[in-house]
Structure 1
Amino acid sequence: MSETVTPTEALQESLLRLADSDMILGQRLCELCGKAPALEEEMALMNVALDLVGQARHWYEYAAELVGDGRTADDLAFKRDAHHFRNALLVEQPNKDYAVTLARQFFFDAWHYLTLQALAKAPDARIAGIAAKAIKEVQYHLRRSSEWVKRLGDGTQESHARMQAAVDDLWRFTGEMIEADAVDRQMFDAGIGPDPDQLAADWKGLVHAVLTEATLTPPPEGAWMQRGAKVGKHTEHLGFILAEMQFLPRAYPDAKTW
């Protein structure tokens, strides 16, 4: 995305970042259907996934209206290639063990909750309405994921080691979520998006507080971060997610997917 963006372009891009991140994380969580460590956890994961996919649909619908080229929410979700997706790198990372699944969820939930808090106050009534509804769901997501991070981090020697390894492994994908680019600044200037500096400070404060209570050690300040999602540069994992997620809509383009 160019450093010079029109208000409409910035809004479209911002909506796609929200929609794509929700959609891809929802898809990742759905991979755990039948594979969660307990029935209660499977039900919780699937509920979170359904919440995220539902939120994604609302963002996609608004984005499709703004794009105005005849594409629908279905087209944006299921007929774009990987380099057109704008989801955070974090959410496309594999589930691996349950510590990784929960650490990924917590890092995202913290960003998601803080972002929705700002969007719920947006002058754009459509955005404010979607965010106000979504934040009720995401508040639960954050409470659940943070409690699990604490439980495993301050649990047995094995659970602590696994959660610490998950934090260390995923940390490099968190920086881009709280680093502002031209789109983020334009959205803030328009009174829609969060203050980038405040978002970064609040996210770090929230995450560090939970990690400390979980007896986990956050990586050092200034640790190297992997970037690129905001301009369509992703890890190798996204292509495999989309190949599975988009197969039916691409094979049967007249089918109704929602």
Structure 2
Amino acid sequence: MSHRHLTLPTAGILAAVTLTACVPNEEPSDGAIDVVSTADACDVASTDAPAGSIVFSVSNEGDDVTEFYLLAEDGLRVISEVENIGPGLTRDLVVQVPEGTYQTACKPGMVGEGITADFTVTASDTEVAVSEDRAELLASASEQYVLYVRDQVSTLVAKTEAFLDAYTSGDDDTARDLYADARVHWERIEPVAESFGDLDPSMDLREADLEEGDEWTGWHHMEKDLWPPAEGYELTDAERQALADKARRRHRGGSRTA
């Protein structure tokens, strides 16, 4: 999903991980909700479901790879997602959802804002029981994941700083060498970061997802500058510096909350 600099508000990320990691994904008793994704449609068999475990069975009947999302009511925060559903394939999204208003979205071709629709989760009398042993395991997993995310954020900030130093100094060979090694740490926390509105787009927006009036910032703009297409593409020193300055302001602000 298109979500928008190298900013890392880690306190918020870690809090969200703690809340979401403690919820088990049990199989629902009333079956899956069928979703059919095509080039221009996202047909969800039901517009509502009772609170608890919900399974969306997503079939891709289009010609391009697709994705399916369950989003918060604002259409920005990702509750859960299933990606890389090839043509002719079906994948399940299993998610534990409390009562509330949400949106479903298919993203054919994995570009653009997707095809969205309202989805309501109604109150349910069914409680999902969690044994004491399982609760302890979930709490331990949550704590370990918090530590993992914090470590990845710290490493990402340090390696991004080294990358930006090379990028703004004109040392393109070094910047190319450092690019993937720094960015991999973003990829490792991206599922968490996608839960925070415009955080993902500001860091990871691709040119194909730009809308009128959008400012292109983050990894992929610098990537295009370092590996320009055949017809040529080159930013000036001032433009490079502006990109890097914005990145530094954002990720330094985030690192102070870690």
Q: TM-score range with shorter-chain normalisation?
A: under 0.3
**TM-score normalized with structure 2 length:** 0.23
Q: Which has the larger radius of gyration?
A: 2
TM-score normalised per structure 1: 0.23
